Amino acid sequence: MDHRDVQNGSGGIQVKVKLAENLPGILTRKFTKKPSKKRVIIAAILIVVLIGTGVAVKKFVFPTKTVVATVVETTNLKKGTLVNSLSSSGTIYSAKVENVSSSVSCPIEKIYVEVGDKVKKGDLMASLDMTTVYTSFDKAQATLNSAKRDLDAKEKDYQINQLLFKDGGVTEKDLNTSLTAYENAKETYRNAETSYNDLKKQLSEGNLVAPIDGTVTQKDAEVGLKPPEGVAFVVEDTEDLYVTTKVKEFNIGSVKVGQDVLISTNVTGNKTYKGKVSWIAPKAVTSSSSSSSSSSSSSSSTNVEFEIKVKIEERDPLMKIGMNAFLQIILQSKDNVFSVPFDAVVSKNNQNSIYILDSSNKVVEVPVTTGIETATSMEISGDGLQEGMKVITKPSKVTVGQVISQNELSGTGSGTKAPGGTGSNGSGGSSSGGTRTSGGSGSSGGTGSGTRSSGGTGASGGSASSGGNSAAR
């Protein structure tokens, strides 16, 4: 047997193999024998497992680094109206509400109105069947006339007896008897007169009439039945409407009678209508609320609120009594002023300022004076302010004097923008407002940067999936 050196492809390993000189056919048959199908399948599985293990180890030992680009967000400075308002909601109601009722216990003969009908003061709404009242009235009138005749006679008798008593023509007993008869006649007449007047009043209530100009909003009367003891009809002035709402105690100090209010409803959509605060309650309304924790302990707190009324000065026929209304109480308002988001104002050493980009994209600090505030914005003023300036909305990300590259700019807009991230194929994250340009490192398309109105993912510098276009650079 002789020895031969065998080298592998890398040239680093040598293996000495003894060849059987006397058995040349054995090796030939060993290497030329066709492998079985089972061995081929096992070998393939082992190869796949080894490849997967290698990839996993590579990712674990050498993870891919994600680079997040710094995005500088800006907004164009411009003048406009800045409004600081307090939001609330309430219910529309009428300032003039009148109940129509009757004290007459007679069935309703006819009804002339329905709910929703407009009426004028004095209009006939319903009439009653007054047959029994007329009968009673006639009797009362006859009784009154009889009582009046009797009263006159008894009065005359008493006067005569007074004269006779002075001359000794009648005794004192006779005089007192005539006086008693006269007093009784007066009492009988008063009772008859009262009954007569009551029935006369009932006759005047045989017709139910509208007490004010307005709209019929409730009808409980029915033909053939006696009017309800409470209310037969309700008439409300639908032209004189208000909204009642409640304001929490820590806000009530900012609310004043006469302040303008913008009013909207679900029915009228986004359109707003003018109103004014007309009344503020002098006394708070309190209510208690309780909360419990997982440890079975509970605590209670008191909510303190003040009722206010808002007069609707400009209304729509679609506005109805009882409808929900949404209010914006104007606490402060200024026209033709500059304003920026809260985060855009830098405060240091008792001085406020904003950061802007000049024509060369260098960060410049501009001193400002702040004014009224809203929930998201702040009024600014100053000699160095000009319309169209590019104001940096997140100044904490930059320093004065820094030059911002074009790739770092998110563009200009008035909305709040979210910086983009790094995508596998030039994708750029999403934006929640305004226009932004964001870059991403692409594995198959270079660096992608796109302008998007509502975000989306760009593929290989192509089209965005949900708005805007992405252009490879």
**Range 2-22 average pLDDT:** 46
Strands 72-76 and 409-412: parallel
**pTM metric for this prediction:** 0.58
Half-sphere exposure of 22 (CA within 13 A, CB side): 1
Distance of alpha carbon 14 from alpha carbon 58, whole angstroms: 29
At 350 the three-state DSSP class reads: coil
Domain boundaries, the chain: 2-61, 72-76+338-472
CATH for 72-76+338-472 (2.160.10.10, 3.40.50.300, 3.20.20.140, 2.40.420.20): 2.40.420.20
pLDDT digits (tens, 9 = 90+) for 236-274: 999 999 999 999 999 999 999 999 999 999 999 989 999
Distance of alpha carbon 367 from alpha carbon 352, whole angstroms: 6
Q: How confident is the model at residue 440 (pLDDT cuts 50, 70, 90)?
A: very low
pLDDT digits (tens, 9 = 90+) for 283-294: 999 987 665 555
Q: Exposure pattern of 156-186 as b/e (b: 16+ CB <10 Å)?
A: ebbeebeeebeeeebeeeebeebeebbeebe
Distance of alpha carbon 352 from alpha carbon 358, whole angstroms: 19
Distance of alpha carbon 106 from alpha carbon 116, whole angstroms: 26
The larger pLDDT score, comparing residue 27 to residue 138, is at: 138
Give the number of residues written for the chain: 473
Highest mean pLDDT among 16-20, 87-91, 417-421, 436-440: 87-91
